């Protein structure tokens, strides 16, 4: 039981450590919020935001052309300036159709308002919660195993 307790405790501590790392990496700069709308979608957020060759679409998106995910194009105003930017996270056609034309809260980076998102959380924040929770359970289990010898 002693060896098992030490191993489980160590794995739990590792999970907690990884959860903290994910939490630190997942700090979103998009802490400001404003009202906005999803006005369209595009194939590449990076190309659209650089003004390159990607055009915004407003017609119903189609999966039959080989593109399964699209980036929503957000329109929002910060300090009197109107922004039209593609969000950094892609969505499937069904989700895009639900979002299109709907008023939403847009999260933006106060230092760089051209950076915006539909969510203030990212995948690293979600992973951090899962890793810390699993790590806490493993640390507790390992501690109990060490006490029960």
pLDDT in tens, 94-137: 887 888 888 999 999 999 998 888 877 767 878 899 999 999 99
Rounded to 5 degrees, what angle do the CA atoms 129, 130, 132 make? 65
Q: What's the residue count for the chain?
A: 149
Question: What's the pTM?
Answer: 0.65
pLDDT in tens, 17-69: 999 998 888 777 778 889 999 988 887 777 777 776 556 676 666 655 566 78
Report the alpha-carbon distance of residue 97 to residue 4 in Å, rounded: 51
Report the alpha-carbon distance of residue 142 to residue 136 in Å, rounded: 10
Closest CA to 71 of 52, 51, 98, 96: 96
Report the alpha-carbon distance of residue 1 to residue 13 in Å, rounded: 18
Average pLDDT over residues 138-148: 90
Report the alpha-carbon distance of residue 82 to residue 100 in Å, rounded: 18
Instruction: Please check whether residue 72 is in contact with residue 91, taking contact to mean a CB–CB distance below 8 angstroms.
Output: yes
Q: What is the DSSP string of 91-105?
A: EEHHHHHHHBT-EEE
CA atoms within 13 A on the CB side of 69: 8
């Amino acid at each position: 039981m002693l060896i098992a307790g030490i191993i489980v405790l160590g794995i739990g501590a590792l999970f907690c450590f990884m959860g903290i790392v994910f939490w630190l990496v997942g700090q979103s700069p998009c802490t400001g919020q404003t009202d906005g709308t999803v006005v369209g979608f595009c194939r590449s957020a990076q190309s659209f935001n650089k003004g390159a060759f990607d055009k915004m679409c407003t017609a119903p998106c189609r999966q039959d052309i080989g593109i399964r995910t699209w980036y929503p194009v957000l329109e929002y105003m910060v300090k009197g300036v109107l922004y039209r930017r593609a969000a950094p996270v892609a969505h499937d056609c069904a989700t895009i159709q639900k979002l299109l034309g709907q008023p939403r809260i847009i999260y933006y980076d106060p230092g760089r308002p051209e950076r915006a998102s539909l969510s203030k959380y990212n995948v690293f924040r979600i992973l951090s919660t899962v890793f810390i929770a699993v790590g806490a359970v493993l640390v507790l289990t390992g501690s109990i195993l060490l006490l029960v010898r």
